[in-house]
C-alpha cells in the first residue's frame, strides 16, 4: 500500500483526523511510526473496509480530553497515593507525561524519579507520601498537549481541627457564648502524647486534652489566646501546631467606686471601666438623659492594662447632681451598664489589710469622705451565727483629716476566740452613713487544736463596745482589746485608693 493510503487509513481508524497529524509530511511521520510500532494493532483487518471508515470519521475525530481539568487530592503522611491521568479518547498514538511543577517526573511508562511509579493506565503512584510530596502536578497527553492539573495536599504531621475544619497555624474568631471543639491529631506511625497549652499554660481540663480534644463551651473572653498543640513522640523534633483564638464579646463594665463622695461646690469623678472586643463606645445617663459635654460635664478616656476607662467629671456639684449615674457601654456584640451613686455620704469603706498575732487581729480600712468622719461602726460575728455584734465608736478627736484626698484610715484591733469570723465596717460623716464594706473574714487558730472549734468557756471574755450584739455572741466568742477599744482613724495617702 502506498504511504498516503496508509496515512489516511490510520487517521480514519484511530480518530486522529486532525490536520496537524494527517497533513504531516512523510518525514515527520517517521516519529509517530515509532508509537504505532509499539502496539500490535491490526491494520490488515480494516484494509478492505472502504465504507465504514468514512462513516467513522465523525465519531473518531475527537482528540483526547479530560472530563475534569482540575483535581484535588488530599493525603496523610505515609499514605500511598495514586494520581490518575484518565483521559478520554486516549489511544496508542498518545503518550502521557507527568510533571511536578515544571519538572518531568514520568515519561509514559518510565518514571524519571524513584519517588514515583508510572502505572500502565497512566496513573502515577507515590508510596508513603510526605508533606514535601504535596504540590501542583499535571499530566500532559502528547502530541495534543492536553493537560490535567492535580493538586496534591499532604497533611502536616500534626493538624488542629476546629469543628472538623483544619485550622492549623491560623487565626479563629469566636463569639461569646459559642461552642467549639478543638481537636489536635497527629499522623505518625509512632504513638504520640498530645499536649495542649493556652498562652503557655498546660491545659488539663475542658475536654480531654490528653486525647487531643478541647471542648470550649460558652466561649468567653478568657478563652482567647494562642493554643498550642504538641505531639510528643519523644523525638527532638516533635510535630506541633498552633491556633490563635480571638473572642468577640459584649462589653464587661465595672467601676472600682460604686459610691462616690462629693461636697457642695466641688467636682466629682465617676469612673466607668470596661473591656470589650470589638471596640466599644461609652456614655453616661442620668435621670434617663444622656449627658453631653457642657460646663457641667466633661469626659476623660484613658487606657489601663486590664481595661479602658471613661471618667465623667461633674463640676460644681450641688444637690441636683446627686443620685444615680448610669455608664452604658456598647459594641457590635452587645451592651452593658454600671451604676454609680453620687452623694455627700462617705464612700463604702475598703478593706486594706490585717495582721493576726495569736488571737489578736489588727485590721485596716480606707474610707473616702471630703466631709469629716464622725463615727464608725464595726460588726463582727462567728460565721455560724446569725446575729452581728457591734462596736460603735465616736472618735472625732482622732480624725486626722487629709483634706486633699479625703482619705481616712480606720484601724481596729481586737481579740477574738478561735474560729472563723466575719467583720464589716461602715462610717458616718457630717451628712450621713456609708454602706457597709463587704464582709472580711478572719480566721483565729486554736493554739491547742489545729481544727477550729468553739473555745472552752473559761477562755470566753466579756464583750465590749457600745450597743454590743446579742449575748450569745458575747458568751461564745466575744473579744477583748489589749488596748483601749478604739477605731483609730488617721490620714492615709494610700496608693490603693489613688487613681
Ligand X SMILES: *[C@@H]1O[C@H](CO)[C@@H](O)[C@H](O)[C@H]1NC(C)=O
Q: Which residues are at the interface with ligand X (CB under 6 A)?
A: 82, 84, 86, 119, 121, 123, 275-276, 279, 303, 307-308, 352-353, 355, 364, 494, 496
Query: Grid coordinates in use for 490?
Result: 488617721
Q: Find out whether the peptide bond into 143 is cis, omega within 30 degrees of 0.
A: yes
Residue with cell 504505532: 36
Query: Grid coordinates in use for 102?
Result: 515544571
Nearest to 105 by CA among 76, 136, 75, 78: 136
Closest approach, Cβ 54 to ligand X, in A, equals: 33
Cα–Cα distance between 177 and 348 in angstroms, integer? Answer: 34
Query: Grid coordinates in use for 27?
Result: 518525514
Q: What are phi and psi of 156, to 5 degrees?
A: -65, 170
Rama region for 359: left / alpha / beta (φ>0; ψ in -120 to 50; rest): alpha
Query: Grid coordinates in use for 247?
Result: 473572642
Nearer to ligand X, 279 or 386 (CB): 279
Nearer to ligand X, 12 or 407 (CB): 407
Nearer to ligand X, 268 or 366 (CB): 366
Closest approach, Cβ 172 to ligand X, in A, equals: 18
Rama region for 37: left / alpha / beta (φ>0; ψ in -120 to 50; rest): alpha
Closest approach, Cβ 353 to ligand X, in A, equals: 4
User: 8-47 in b/e burial notation, b at 16+ Cβ within 10 A?
Assistant: ebbbbbbbbbeeebeeeeeeebeebeebeeeeebeeeebe
Long-range contacts of 283-287 (CB under 8 A, 24+ apart): 283/327, 283/328, 284/310, 284/312, 284/325, 284/326, 284/327, 284/328, 285/325, 285/326, 285/327, 285/328, 286/323, 286/324, 286/325, 286/326, 287/323
Cβ neighbors of 102 (< 8 A, separation 6 or more) are: none
Closest approach, Cβ 44 to ligand X, in A, equals: 31
Nearer to ligand X, 21 or 284 (CB): 284
Beta bridge partners of 247: 174
**HEC assignment per residue over 295-311:** CCEEEEEEECCCCEEEE
Closest approach, Cβ 319 to ligand X, in A, equals: 35
Nearer to ligand X, 84 or 374 (CB): 84
Closest approach, Cβ 150 to ligand X, in A, equals: 12
Nearer to ligand X, 102 or 404 (CB): 404
Nearer to ligand X, 275 or 398 (CB): 275
Nearer to ligand X, 54 or 82 (CB): 82
Nearer to ligand X, 17 or 90 (CB): 90
Nearer to ligand X, 93 or 308 (CB): 308
Closest approach, Cβ 248 to ligand X, in A, equals: 11
Cα–Cα distance between 474 and 468 in angstroms, integer? Answer: 8
Amino acid at each position: 500500500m502506498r504511504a498516503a493510503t496508509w496515512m489516511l487509513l490510520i487517521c480514519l481508524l484511530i480518530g486522529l483526523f486532525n490536520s496537524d497529524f494527517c497533513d504531516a509530511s512523510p518525514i515527520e511521520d517517521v516519529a509517530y511510526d515509532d508509537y504505532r510500532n509499539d502496539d500490535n494493532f491490526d491494520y490488515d483487518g480494516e484494509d478492505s473496509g472502504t465504507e465504514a471508515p468514512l462513516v467513522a470519521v465523525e465519531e473518531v475525530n475527537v482528540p483526547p480530553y479530560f472530563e475534569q481539568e482540575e483535581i484535588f487530592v488530599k493525603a496523610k503522611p505515609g499514605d500511598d497515593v495514586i494520581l490518575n491521568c484518565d483521559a478520554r479518547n486516549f489511544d496508542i498514538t498518545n503518550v502521557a507525561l507527568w510533571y511536578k511543577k515544571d519538572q518531568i517526573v514520568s515519561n509514559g511508562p518510565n518514571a524519571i524519579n524513584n519517588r514515583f511509579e508510572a502505572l500502565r493506565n497512566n496513573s502515577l503512584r507515590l508510596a508513603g507520601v510526605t508533606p514535601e510530596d504535596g504540590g501542583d502536578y499535571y499530566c500532559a497527553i502528547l502530541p495534543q498537549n492536553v493537560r490535567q492539573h492535580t493538586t496534591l495536599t499532604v497533611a502536616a504531621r500534626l493538624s488542629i481541627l476546629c469543628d472538623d475544619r483544619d485550622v492549623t497555624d491560623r487565626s479563629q474568631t469566636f463569639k461569646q457564648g459559642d461552642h467549639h471543639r478543638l481537636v489536635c491529631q497527629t499522623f505518625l506511625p509512632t504513638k504520640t502524647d498530645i499536649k495542649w497549652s493556652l498562652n503557655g499554660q498546660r491545659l488539663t481540663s475542658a475536654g480531654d486534652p490528653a486525647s487531643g480534644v478541647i471542648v470550649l463551651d460558652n466561649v468567653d473572653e478568657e478563652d482567647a489566646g494562642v493554643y498550642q498543640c504538641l505531639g510528643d513522640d519523644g523525638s527532638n523534633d516533635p510535630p506541633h501546631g498552633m491556633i490563635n483564638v480571638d473572642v468577640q464579646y459584649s462589653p464587661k463594665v465595672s467601676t472600682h467606686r460604686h459610691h462616690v463622695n462629693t461636697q457642695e461646690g466641688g467636682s466629682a469623678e465617676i469612673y466607668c471601666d470596661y473591656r470589650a472586643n470589638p471596640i466599644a463606645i461609652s456614655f453616661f445617663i442620668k435621670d434617663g438623659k444622656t449627658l453631653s459635654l457642657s460646663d457641667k460635664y466633661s469626659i476623660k478616656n484613658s487606657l489601663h492594662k486590664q481595661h479602658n476607662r471613661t471618667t465623667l467629671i461633674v463640676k460644681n456639684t450641688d444637690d441636683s447632681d446627686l443620685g444615680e449615674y448610669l455608664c452604658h457601654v456598647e459594641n457590635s456584640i452587645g451592651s452593658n451598664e454600671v451604676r454609680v451613686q453620687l452623694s455627700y455620704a462617705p464612700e463604702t469603706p475598703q478593706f486594706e489589710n490585717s495582721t493576726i498575732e495569736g488571737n489578736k487581729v489588727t485590721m485596716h480600712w480606707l474610707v473616702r469622705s471630703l466631709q469629716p468622719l464622725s463615727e464608725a461602726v464595726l460588726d463582727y460575728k462567728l460565721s455560724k451565727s446569725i446575729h452581728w455584734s457591734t462596736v460603735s465608736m465616736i472618735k472625732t478627736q482622732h480624725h486626722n483629716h487629709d483634706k486633699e484626698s479625703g482619705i481616712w484610715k480606720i484601724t481596729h484591733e481586737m481579740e477574738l476566740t478561735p474560729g472563723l469570723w466575719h467583720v464589716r465596717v461602715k462610717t458616718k460623716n457630717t451628712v450621713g452613713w456609708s454602706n457597709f464594706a463587704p464582709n472580711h473574714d478572719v480566721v483565729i487558730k486554736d493554739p491547742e487544736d489545729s481544727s477550729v472549734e468553739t473555745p472552752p468557756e473559761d477562755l470566753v471574755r466579756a464583750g465590749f463596745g457600745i450597743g454590743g450584739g446579742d449575748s450569745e455572741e458575747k458568751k461564745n466568742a466575744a473579744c477583748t482589746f489589749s488596748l483601749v477599744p478604739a477605731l483609730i482613724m488617721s490620714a492615709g495617702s494610700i496608693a490603693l485608693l489613688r487613681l
